[in-house]
Structure 1
Amino acid sequence: MTDAEHQTHEQRLERARRVFEHATRVAGEDGHGPVGPEAGAGEGRQGRDSARPRRRGGRGRAPAQEPPITGAAAVDAEPDVEEVARTVALNQLNHSARSRGQLAEAMARKDVPAHVADRVLDRFEEVGLIDDAEYAAMLVRTRQSERGLARRALAVELKRKGIEGEAAAQALDAVDPDEEEAAARRVVEKRLRSMTNLEPEVKKRRLAAMLARKGHPAGISYRVIDEAMRAENAEE
């Protein structure tokens, strides 16, 4: 027998031994006793049969197997909470930018302990994945240009997104009063185009309510509304 054949033979023996040991272990767990040459030593058919649990109809029913006490299957696969926190944060950031407060809330919903969440969020801030100041500035710019929100409404929006304190203050300080008024004028002119059949007082009341919801002061609101309505009348 060559070395290669000898090695192959030993491998076959090893596989056979493992299969035999596995069958012996499974049979023992099923309550059928040992399998193999030692199965007949000191045990008769009657002894084995009497040890088996029976059910109605006369057939034996093996008990459910217990979890293994060794090996990978015996390890309880509880997820690491820090890994859960990282996964939650990355999934949120994959959709769009998020504030630290928003990510902390998302982690809390997944039962991540606060101290673990803080550690992960600190690390995300260090590498630049979280930047509340930058996020606040971006939010103020887009909400003002797209929705015509004024400073008061922008502050509410920032708080809703979990941004307060210095980051919120810096973003709001950057709001230009002239641009704020220009935003009010844009939304009023746009809304007026859909109010052609309404009475002037109804228009004014509805436009004032709309600007109030967007956070504009009453003085600026009525001035912008009056100017827009005079321009509309002049065109007619």
Structure 2
Amino acid sequence: MTRRRGGSAEPPADPEARARELCLRMLTSSPRTRAQLADALRRRDVPDEVAGRVLSRLTDVGLIDDESFARSWVESRHAGRGLARRALAAELRHRGVAADTVEDAVDSLDPGREERTARALVDRRLPATSGLDPARRMRRLVGVLARKGYPPGLCYRVVKEALADEGTDLDDLPDAAPPVD
């Protein structure tokens, strides 16, 4: 790479070297999927055949690994943000991860752990709803879980149990999960 006046670097003239440099720079900042890198190369007008060679080489040497990316993503986003399988799968698909890889990654999330995380999310938000009537508390807390991708039945059950454990009178609440709009 040559330096221009002012210290900025000129991009390499060789498209393959330019593609490799771009991919390595992106991978240095954070892990990326093959699809994310391919999109970046396409936006930089790197020819498809050159991009394919560079991406294949980076995959061969282990710098691109969508399976590892997906497993790490599921673990990180579930632990950090409390996202459920459905939300995690949507995020991975949005990043261009293949459907079977997405399925394998979200299947690695234990349903028991997912339920414990849902309970922890509700326990954390429960005090903020203490002055509201039970039906409104139920809607708000179920909404918290639903936005994180938890299934309606689990949302309703976990919230109802948390409210009951707290001693809230649940006689006015319906026995089944409310219909989804």
- Per the TM superposition, whether the score is higher than 0.5 is yes
Q: CA deviation at 1:134?
A: 0.5
Q: CA deviation at 1:194?
A: 2.4
2:98 is aligned to 164
Q: CA deviation at 1:196?
A: 2.7
Q: CA deviation at 1:211?
A: 1.3
Preserved CA contact (<8 Å) 2:12 2:18: no
**Which portions of structure 1, spanning 4 or more consecutive aligned residues, are displaced by more than 6 angstroms?**
none
1:143 is aligned to 77
Q: Does 1:131 find its partner at 2:65?
A: yes
After TM superposition, the score normalised by the length of structure 2 is: 0.81
1:95 and 1:107 map into 2 onto residues whose CA distance is: 16
Which has the higher relative contact order, 1 or 2, with Cα contacts under 8 A spaced 6 or more apart?
2
Q: CA deviation at 1:78?
A: 7.2
SS of 1:193's equivalent?
helix
Which structure 2 residues correspond to residues 29-48 of structure 1 after superposition, within 5 A?
none
2:137 and 2:107 map into 1 onto residues whose CA distance is: 32
Structure 2 residue identity aligned to 1:100: R
**RMSD between aligned residues:** 1.7
- State how many pairs are aligned: 158
**2:36 is matched with which residue: 102, 105, 117?**
102
Q: 1:129 to 1:229 in 2, by over 3 A?
A: same
Q: Does 1:176 find its partner at 2:176?
A: no
After TM superposition, the score normalised by the length of structure 1 is: 0.63
1:198 and 1:102 map into 2 onto residues whose CA distance is: 45
1:199 and 1:90 map into 2 onto residues whose CA distance is: 55
2:12 and 2:116 map into 1 onto residues whose CA distance is: 56
Pair member with larger Rg: 1
* Percent of pairs with identical residues: 46
Q: Does 1:90 find its partner at 2:24?
A: yes
